[in-house]
């Protein structure tokens, strides 16, 4: 049977948008409460989030999580959102409260940082009814204790060693859902998928970079 052709429909003003690398479609995906997630955009920029074809958003940032940021993201996003709720500097009861607020706002899941204790993960598991995504930054992480504590999905972010970490996890835990950073090229994304990642996080160009290209185009029109 020949491959089915997927019709493409796009409005004139929405043609200028960001597309995640098509190679991510080779990932199996993770079905979360009925929604199939293969690609996640790593961003808190609502303009980027509103103009990208990713399946979901992974909204973590290098500051203490704030309820107003979660609320703004959930209001603006037209994609499912996994909200960061701390686990590094922000931990304990504050992380629990942030996660509960994220659930009430409609978050598809919550993401905790790699330093998060198993006690906090367990408390999250007993408090919220959405998936807990636990970040893994090293092959030294005790994966079994994370899963026992209540982690539902692993988010591997190990820099250039990400694919190797994914491969080790997949060998020992063939059924655990894994999100992983794909790296800068199609080849690195494919390597991460081949290692066992079910879904890939994609870091888009910044608004400044995108605007730079547009401004060059506008300048050429004035020459």
Classify residue 174 by burial, with Cβ atoms within 10 Å: 0-12, 13-18, 19+.
exposed
Classify residue 20 by burial, with Cβ atoms within 10 Å: 0-12, 13-18, 19+.
buried
Instruction: Provide the b/e sequence for 32-50 (b: ≥16 CB within 10 Å).
Output: beeeebbbbbbbbbeebbe
Judge: domain 19-222, CATH 3.40.50.720. Answer: no
Q: Contact 87/112 with Cβ under 8 angstroms?
A: yes
Residue whose structure tokens are 């996994």? 82
**Short-list 131, 102, 134, CA closest to 117:** 134
Q: What is the per-residue pLDDT for 222?
A: 64
State residue 193 phi and psi, 5-degree precision. -65, -45
CA contacts within 13 A on the Cβ side of 85: 33
State residue 109 phi and psi, 5-degree precision. -170, 170
Q: What is the per-residue pLDDT for 4?
A: 83
pLDDT tens per residue, range 22-33: 999 999 999 999
Positions in the chain whose pLDDT score sits under 70:
1-2, 213-214, 217-219, 221-223
Q: What is the per-residue pLDDT for 14?
A: 76
Q: What is the per-residue pLDDT for 16?
A: 78
Q: What is the per-residue pLDDT for 11?
A: 83
Q: What is the per-residue pLDDT for 106?
A: 95
Q: In the chain, how long is the greatest CA-to-CA distance? A: 64
What are the structural domain ranges in the chain?
19-222
pLDDT tens per residue, range 90-120: 778 899 999 999 999 999 999 999 999 999 9
Q: What is the per-residue pLDDT for 2?
A: 62
């Amino acid at each position: 049977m020949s491959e089915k052709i997927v019709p493409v429909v796009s409005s004139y003003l929405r043609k200028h948008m960001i597309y995640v690398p098509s190679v991510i479609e080779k990932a199996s995906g993770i079905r979360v409460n009925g929604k199939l997630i293969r690609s996640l955009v790593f961003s808190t920029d609502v303009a980027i989030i509103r103009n990208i074809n990713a399946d979901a958003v992974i909204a973590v940032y290098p500051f203490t999580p704030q309820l107003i940021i979660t609320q703004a993201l959930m209001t603006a996003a037209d994609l499912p959102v996994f909200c960061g709720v701390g686990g590094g500097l922000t931990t304990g009861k504050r992380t629990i409260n942030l996660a509960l607020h994220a659930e009430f706002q409609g978050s598809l899941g919550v993401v905790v940082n790699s330093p998060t204790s198993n006690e906090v993960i367990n408390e999250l598991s007993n408090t919220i009814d959405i998936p807990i995504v636990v970040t893994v930054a090293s092959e030294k992480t005790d994966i079994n204790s994370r899963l026992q504590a209540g982690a539902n999905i692993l988010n591997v972010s190990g820099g250039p060693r990400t694919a190797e970490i994914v491969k080790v996890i997949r060998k020992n835990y063939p059924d655990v859902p894994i999100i992983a950073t794909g790296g800068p090229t199609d080849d690195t994304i494919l390597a991460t998928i081949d290692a066992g990642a079910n879904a890939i996080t994609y870091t888009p160009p910044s608004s400044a970079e995108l605007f730079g290209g547009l401004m060059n185009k506008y300048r050429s029109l004035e020459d």
